[in-house]
Structure 1
Amino acid sequence: MELSLHRLRMLRELERRGTVTAAAAALHYTASAVSQQLAQLERDVGAKLFERLGRRVQLTELGVLLTEHAELILGSVERATLALEEAQDTVAVRLTAGVWASVASGLLPTALTSLQQSHPGIVVRTKELAPEDTADAVRDGALDFSFVIDYSDAPMPWDAGLERAVIAVERLHAAVPTGSVPGESVALLDLADHPWILASPKSHFGRAIRNACRRHGFEPKIDHEVGEQPTAMAMVGAGLGITLVSDLGLLHRPPGVDIVALSTPVMRTVSIAYRTTALRRASLQLVIEAVRTAAAELGLGTEQTLP
């Protein structure tokens, strides 16, 4: 019998999530692909590993037994990878990172170019995910590390099995149509009567900005719901409303947009999340240092305290 690590990881995720659809979403595959791989795992083992109960899935006794061993096997693979890296004189490894738009465009080009020049053996591949999904993908082993965000008005719940290294602390700024808001700074409450362009409340960003507005005494009137900061700013430039944008997001500022500081800052912390077992990985620490350096070159520090 030959067991595939790939299929064992899918079985472990199925046990955690309870449905093929949820397991597939966590692993970033289609549900049909996961179903096919799990069916092949059953053929490899020669036994039934799970049963369908309506929309949910329940593991058989053999499925539970194999999942328990899968945890041990996958943990051993990670520890073996770490041991090999530590034993090598040179760092040579491939890492997969979870990213989202502003770090992918604002930090990674500089950081990965520098890393390639100083440590060509480290290859970083990226997968773009919603910021609120990246930490789960690291915990579940689908990613080696990911970028995560904490907002001053919406801290992210944290998993005890993960560590994080702060990369940068950003301010959020008001992005408004040119000439629509006089002065160099503005109170958030003074923006209450403007039409807003904002991400969905299901997103971390959209939820954080709504919380900040409520903390200042108003509910934003949202005319346009869009997910990405560059898209929102393009709509601001067309005079369709206002939004908030981060320091990294300012790199995509189009014509027709004024950037106005908030008199009471709204902040967010950008960090890299990784599993506690990866703490000693030299390759990971080199990546973290390269990204921190790229952030510092943009004037973003790591010591600023959130209000």
Structure 2
Amino acid sequence: MHRSVQFCFTVRTLAIMELSLRRLRMLRELHRRGTVTGAAASLHYSPSAVSQQLAQLEREVGATLFERMGRRIRLTELGVLLTEHAEDILDSVERAEMALEHAQGGVVSRLEGGVWASVASGLLPAALAKLAEEHPGIEVRTIELAPEDTAGAVLDGSLDFSFVIDYSDYAMPWDPALVREVIAVERLHGAVPTGSMLEPTVALAALADQRWVLAGGKSHFGRAVRIACRRNGFEPRIVHQVEEQSTALAMVAGGLGVTLVSDLVLDSVPEGVDIVALTEPVLRTVSLAHRATNPTRRSLELVIDAVRTAAAERGLAASSTPP
């Protein structure tokens, strides 16, 4: 980087209005992803919204920050320079928020987290009710993501935390830049049409000849169930591929097949479905992931405690060490 370019840019930025942290985050993600679509997906905005905000950032700076290269966008020299400063600014903001929280005992904060359906319905209502009662200054906002996407959203700074899963037959890859706080351990159970199984407990292999309703093989859940079935000597005959356990349960209730469901879903089992225990159950560990910082934000510690309490009240308390 030429000193003259950096000097001109610095003089110019001293004269402009306050830079938006949201636009700086968008700039950082554009640099990381290479496309507006990729940046928008990581930040959970529409591509048009990101394009508009980045265009506004260029107007604020008064310089060209991007060059189109086909479908991709390359940052100019000034764009790269601003991105480098954006990284420092956003890191400083996070450190400042942490310092304020610790000075105030963590009583005022806003956190954004990633969830999936069964966690959102099975753990969050009780956890956030307890948090609101004991620490009303902490606001938690959530967004539903596929379990496969939640850790990445924390790693790239889009979210403060997210729920992640590991299966006894299929452990998830892990990034050392993230910390994993174990929340609960769930069992998977067989869900079958009412009256189709005579015993309340069966081996997984007893479902080998059944038609299956199951998530796709690219999802963590679908892959883990397939691995468990293969370990028990069979390949599930999947006739209906659906991603949500609630949808799979509705299809089981209609007699269309069998599936596996987790503990957190048992409260919403519809009529027409029997739940059978497995003699060698498949387990999954639910954890909360956040970026590795020292010390951990006080507000985040309180969220973790509230969710762990909600899990313990459901009989799903776990040890502190993931599989």
Q: Specify the TM-score bucket, using the shorter chain as the normaliser.
A: over 0.9
1:131-150 map, 5 Å:
131-150=147-166
Separation in 2 of the partners of 1:294 and 1:256?
A: 29
CA 1:118–1:304 in structure 2 vs 1: closer, same or farther (change >3 Å)?
A: closer
Q: Please give the alpha-carbon distance, in whole angstroms, between the structure 2 residues aligned to 1:105 and 1:306.
A: 23
The answer on 1:6 being equivalent to 2:22 is yes
Q: Which residue of 1 aligns with 2:299?
A: 283
State yes or no: 1:155 paired with 2:167. Answer: no
> Could you tell me which residue of structure 2 aligns to residue 25 of structure 1?
41
Match of 1:301 in 2: 317
Q: How does 1:218-297 map to 2 (within 5 A)?
A: 218-277=234-293, 279-297=295-313
State whether residues 169 and 304 of structure 1, in contact with CA within 8 Å, keep that contact through their aligned partners in structure 2. Answer: no
Is the CA contact (8 Å cut-off) linking 1:196 and 1:222 kept in structure 2? Answer: yes
Q: Secondary structure at the match of 1:303?
A: coil
Distance 1:305 1:141, change over 3 A: closer
Task: Quote the residue 2:98 is aligned against.
Answer: 82
Q: Does 1:194 align with 2:210?
A: yes
Superposed CA RMSD: 1.7
Q: List alignment gaps of at least 5 residues for structure 1.
A: none
Shift of 1:36: 1.2
TM-score by length of 1: 0.95
What secondary structure sits across from 2:293 in the alignment?
helix
Q: What percent identity do the matched residue pairs reach? A: 71
CA contact (8 A) 1:82 1:278 kept: no
Once residues 74 and 255 of structure 1 are traced to their aligned partners in structure 2, the CA distance between those partners, rounded to angstroms, is 50
Q: Deviations over 1:24-81 (max 9, x none)?
A: 1111111111111111111212222222222222222211111111111100000000
The count of corresponding residues between Structure 1 and Structure 2 is 307
1:179 is aligned to 2:195: yes
Q: Offset of 1:304 from its aligned partner?
A: 9.2
Amino acid paired to 2:62: G
Is the Cα–Cα contact under 8 Å of residues 100 and 130 in structure 1 kept in the other structure? yes
Deviation at 1:214, TM superposition (A): 2.3
Q: TM-score, normalised by structure 2?
A: 0.90
Match of 1:118 in 2: 134
- What displacement does 1:301 show? 1.9
Based on CA coordinates, which of the two structures has the bigger radius of gyration? 2
CA distance in 1, matches of 2:71, 2:122: 41
Q: Distance in 2 between matches of 1:52 and 1:90?
A: 44
Q: Does 1:45 align with 2:53?
A: no
Hey, what's the Cα distance between the residues in 2 that align with 1:304 and 1:80? 29
Other structure's SS at 2:172 match: coil
- In 2, the alpha carbon distance for the partners of 1:82 and 1:191 equals 51
- Partners of 2:59 and 2:206 in 1: how far apart? 64
Q: Equivalent of 1:213, from 224, 229, 235?
A: 229
Q: Deviations over 1:136-180 (max 9, x none)?
A: 111222211111111123322212211111000111011011121
SS at match of 1:91: coil
Q: Secondary structure at the match of 1:277?
A: coil
Helix, strand or coil for the counterpart of 1:117? Answer: helix
User: What SS is found at the alignment partner of 1:180?
Assistant: coil
**1:97-154 Cα deviation digits (max 9, x unpaired):** 1111111111111111111111111111111111111111112222111111111233
Q: Which amino acid aligns with 1:154?
A: Y
